Amino acid sequence: MDDSYLVLTQTPIIPVIAIEQLEDAVPLAEALVAGGLTHLEVTLRTECAIAAMELIANKVTGATLGAGTVTTSQQFASTVSAGAQFVVSPGHNEALFQASLDTAIPLLPGAVTASEIMRVTGAGFPIVKFFPAATSGGHQAIRAFQGPFPGVNFIPTGGVNPDNLSSYLSLANVVAVGGSWMLPTALIRDKDWDGITQLAAEACNLASSLQTSKEI
């Protein structure tokens, strides 16, 4: 695996964040980092996403910033300019492949079928975003892909939560998961950053305990 992709294997959980209010960007990111979740995927699902990324990149010590829901090369360029150190897409296309190759910024392309995985890995991308995981076969599907794709690693996202976390993290071909269960709307609305830190720490502790039970 290219060294640039190690950034995607250094944490078992990547919070998937939709920032609705720009003023929440820095304290929310700081709360997650304080709880041990340092690799943050800020999605392009809100109007202030790019501005939020810029603030986090410039003001939050210890955060490794990623951009999510990126579907075009123009979005790829905008998020990298905002400070993104890795880019995540729900799918994949040639324009995104080329943008990643041109910039040396790691791309996590989405794929859930054998043909899609072959297209992604054939283009030189070693880690696949398995999305939406819950409705695409879940951990059973990822386990089944170990046979035909022994060198491919996955980061499942979509429907991942504490109840099924062990099913994913126990798989040898899962390097991390993406999720938002540690970001309940009520806590963000109330700006309960200590509550977010506590949930992040609980997620970290749970993931750490599960990482010791990897399948071979």
Contact 207, 169 (CB under 8 A): yes
Q: Which residues of 49-63 are buried (b: 16+ CB within 10 A; e: fewer)?
A: bbebbbbbbeebeeb
Cα of 13 vs its chain's centroid, Å: 7
In sequence order, the β-bridge partners of residue 151 are none
Task: Kindly name the residue from 129, 191, 214, 215 that is annotated as catalytic.
Answer: 129
List CB contacts of 146: < 8 A, sequence separation 6 or more.
Answer: 171, 172, 173
Task: Kindly name the residue from 41, 47, 59, 215 that is annotated as catalytic.
Answer: 41
Amino acid at 173: N
Specify whether 129 is catalytic. yes
Query: In this structure, what token pair is assigned to residue 40?
Result: 């943050």
- DSSP string across 103-150: HT--EE-B--SHHHHHHHHHTT--EEEETTSTTTTHHHHHHHTTTT-T
Task: Please work out, in degrees rounded to the nearest 5, the angle formed at the alpha carbon of residue 102 by the alpha carbons of 119 and 77.
Answer: 95
Contact 154, 175 (CB under 8 A): yes
Query: In this structure, what token pair is assigned to residue 106?
Result: 């790691």
Helix axis angle for 49-59 and 25-34, nearest 10°, is: 50
List the catalytic residues. Answer: 41, 129
